[in-house]
Amino acid sequence: MTTLTATLSHTAALSRLGYALSDATRTGVLLALRSGPAYPSDLADALGVSRQVMSNQLACLRGCGLVQAVPDGRRSSYRLADPHLAPALDELLQVVLTVDPECCTGDGCTCS
C-alpha cells in the first residue's frame, strides 16, 4: 500500500488553485483554456467582462503559476501552464456536491 503525503509544495499548489477557482472569472478563464490558447480580448468577450478585468485576472492566474503568456507578434495569447491542469479541471467538473442552502449561497459559504 502506498501512502501519499502532502508536502508544503503540494499544499501551496492546491491553495493557489483553490484561490483561482474562488472567482467566477478566473474559473471561466481556466475552463476556457482547457481547449487551447486564447487571446485576452476573446476571453473577455466570451466571459462578458471588460478587458481591464480580464487583464487583472490573467495577471493573478500568472502569479499563481496556472497560466502562461505566449508571445504572438505584438499580442500574447494565454494557455494553461501545465498539461495536467486540463484533465484535472475536467475531473473536478465531475464532482457532485450537496450544498446546504442555509449555509452556502451563490456568493459563497457563510457557515462558521
Q: What are the tens digits of pLDDT across the range 5-62? A: 667 688 888 999 999 999 999 999 999 999 999 999 999 999 999 999 999 999 999 9
| Structural domain count, the chain | 1
φ, ψ at 72 (rounded to 5°):
-145, 85
Q: Which residues are paired to 79 by β-bridges?
A: 68
**pLDDT tens-place string over residues 81-97:** 999 999 999 999 999 88
CATH number at residue 33: 1.10.10.10
User: Using CA of residue 5, residue 8, residue 10, residue 12, what is the dihedral sign?
Assistant: positive
Q: Is the pLDDT of residue 108 over 70?
A: no
Q: Is residue 70 part of a domain?
A: yes
Q: Is residue 7 part of a domain?
A: no
Q: Is residue 6 part of a domain?
A: no
pTM for the predicted model, two decimal places = 0.82
What are the cell numbers at 80? Answer: 494553461
